[in-house]
């Protein structure tokens, strides 16, 4: 009997960061599907059902990650979403997912600052996937 690997969807318009994150996640033993824009991410949602998603916040639009998260939760409400962004460092704005109200507004299960260490990423993914 073969065990099916969990599928993680990553959407980020920074292709260098996307490649780095893909490699980190693959090295953790997950299957990765990815897109380089909000639009491509939306198209991917039409054909794929990931077990978890990691979205950048600011892509074509300043709220692309929120839009993708909203669409993901509408189609697959049980799929955990992480928004990984440098928005706080770039703008001073901060977002949280600590309360139910925050999660309802942000539509994500976790908000993380970019520059994640692999052990942090693994811990958050495992927590959200309940591994």
Domain locations in the chain as residue ranges: 7-126
pLDDT tens-place string over residues 89-101: 444 455 555 556 5
Q: Which residues of 37-63 are buried (b: 16+ CB within 10 A; e: fewer)?
A: bbeebbebbeeeebbbbbbbbbbeeee
Q: Tell me which H or E stretch contains 24.
A: helix 15-27
Rounded average pLDDT over 9-33:
95
pLDDT value of position 101: 57
d(CA 50, CA 62): 24
Cα 87 to chain centroid, rounded: 15
Structure tokens at 30: 């997950």
Residue that the structure tokens 């939760």 belong to: 73
Rounded average pLDDT over 9-31:
95
- Give the pTM: 0.84
Cα 118 to chain centroid, rounded: 15
Q: What is the dihedral of CA 127, 68, 83, 18, to 10 degrees?
A: 100
For the domain spanning 7-126, the CATH number is 3.40.50.2300
pLDDT value of position 74: 93
pLDDT tens-place string over residues 30-88: 999 999 999 999 999 999 999 999 999 888 888 888 899 999 999 999 999 999 877 54
């Amino acid at each position: 009997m073969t065990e099916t690997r969990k599928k993680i969807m990553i959407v980020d318009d920074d292709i260098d960061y996307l490649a780095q994150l893909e490699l980190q996640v693959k090295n953790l033993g997950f299957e990765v599907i990815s897109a380089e824009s909000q639009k491509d991410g939306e198209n991917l949602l039409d054909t794929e059902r990931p077990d978890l998603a990691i979205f950048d916040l600011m892509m074509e639009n300043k709220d692309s990650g929120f839009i993708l998260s909203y669409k993901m939760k509408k189609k697959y409400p049980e799929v955990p979403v992480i928004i990984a962004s440098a928005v706080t460092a770039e703008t001073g704005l901060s977002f949280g997912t600590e309360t139910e109200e925050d999660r309802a507004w942000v539509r994500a299960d976790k908000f993380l600052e970019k520059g994640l260490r692999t052990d942090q990423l693994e811990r958050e993914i495992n927590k959200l996937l309940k591994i």
